[in-house]
Amino acid sequence: MIFPALQGKVFGYVNLNLEAQEWISRQAEKTEENALLDPVICEQMVTSVHDKYDLDFSYGGWMEDRSFLWRGSYLEEEKFFTHLGVDLNVASGTEVTCDFEAEVVKLDNDYPEVGGWGTRIILKHAALPLYMIYAHLDPDVAVKVGDKLIQDQIFAKVGRAPYNGNWFPHLHVQTISEEYYKKISEGDKWDELDGYGSANEVTLHSKRFRDPMEFISLI
């Protein structure tokens, strides 16, 4: 289970783009600017969604359109609003475990970049030709590059703004195919790797970035 402290808690799928539209429509004060780019306000929105459905935490986002949720962000310029991973919406400080045996192959931090990965750890799956990104983490991690992880080993905690890329508290998990990972790492093209992409390339994205829920467990 990816979050051992949340064992037995109630969780469910939510589409944050749709929920954001509904939440904003209920606000008394309307502005042209996107208030949800403020991580404090966005966290309030997510908390209200959890209250609405009686959830302790939620997940969702793979290949979903986030054009309303993140309008006005850095994604606007290229219209890269398709989410390539899954967001696990849990409180900052929540411990994260590895659901499989793996090796730590990359650990970095792009703070103070806004809209970035924050602290990011990439794991190589021991049994599959697959890599897993865990992002928006707390800077205080329990591993280093080269470490071998066993199943259920705690290796990080969910981060908080501004140190997590200045997002609301959540864990972003994204897969990378072995072929695409090698292309990025061997060519040192890490600046090409993002958590969002173009809606026109969904077929390509879905091959490069499989649904992370196939490889992580919430129970």
Please report, as a single letter, which amino acid is at residue 27.
Q
pTM for this entry: 0.97
Question: Based on the domain organization, do 18 and 41 belong to the same domain?
Answer: yes
Q: What is the pLDDT of residues 72-91, one digit of tens each?
A: 999 999 999 999 999 999 99
Provide the CATH number for the domain around residue 159.
Answer: 2.70.70.10
**Mean pLDDT of all residues in 200-210:** 97
Question: Based on the domain organization, do 132 and 78 belong to the same domain?
Answer: no
**E strand or H helix that includes residue 135:** strand 130-137
Choose among 79, 70, 96: nearest CA to 16: 70
DSSP 79: T
Q: What are phi and psi of 4, to 5 degrees?
A: -60, -30
204 within some domain: no
Question: Based on the domain organization, do 48 and 34 belong to the same domain?
Answer: yes
Q: What is the pLDDT of residues 15-59, one digit of tens each?
A: 999 999 999 999 977 777 999 999 999 999 999 999 999 999 999
pLDDT of 166 over the 80 cut = yes
201 within some domain: no
Question: Based on the domain organization, do 78 and 103 belong to the same domain?
Answer: no
Please report, as a single letter, which amino acid is at residue 2.
I
Question: Based on the domain organization, do 85 and 142 belong to the same domain?
Answer: no
Question: Based on the domain organization, do 85 and 100 belong to the same domain?
Answer: no
Cα(185)–Cα(182) distance, rounded to whole angstroms?
Answer: 5
Question: Based on the domain organization, do 106 and 164 belong to the same domain?
Answer: yes
Question: Based on the domain organization, do 84 and 102 belong to the same domain?
Answer: no
**Mean pLDDT of all residues in 202-216:** 97
Domain count, the chain: 2
Q: Is 67 helix (H, G, I), strand (E, B) or coil?
A: coil
Question: Based on the domain organization, do 162 and 76 belong to the same domain?
Answer: no
Average confidence score pLDDT of the chain: 97
Question: Based on the domain organization, do 102 and 188 belong to the same domain?
Answer: yes
Question: Based on the domain organization, do 111 and 184 belong to the same domain?
Answer: yes
Distances (CA, A) of 2 to 48, 96, 119, 128, 155: 24, 6, 17, 18, 10
**E strand or H helix that includes residue 52:** helix 39-53
Q: The tokens of 218 are what?
A: 């919430």
Question: Based on the domain organization, do 49 and 99 belong to the same domain?
Answer: no
Cα(151)–Cα(22) distance, rounded to whole angstroms?
Answer: 39
Show the domain range for 43.
4-89
211 within some domain: no
**Mean pLDDT of all residues in 63-74:** 98
202 within some domain: no
The vertex-31 CA angle with 28 and 23, nearest 5°, equals 50
Tell which of 89, 123, 140 closes a domain: 89
The string of DSSP codes covering 89-130 is: E--TT-EEE-SS-EEEEEEEE-TT-TTS-SEEEEEEESSSSE
**Helices and strands in the chain, H and E counts:** 4, 12
32 within some domain: yes
Cα(59)–Cα(8) distance, rounded to whole angstroms?
Answer: 15
212 within some domain: no
206 within some domain: no
Choose among 20, 4, 14: nearest CA to 59: 14
The string of DSSP codes covering 197-211 is: E-GGGHHHHHHHS--
174 within some domain: yes
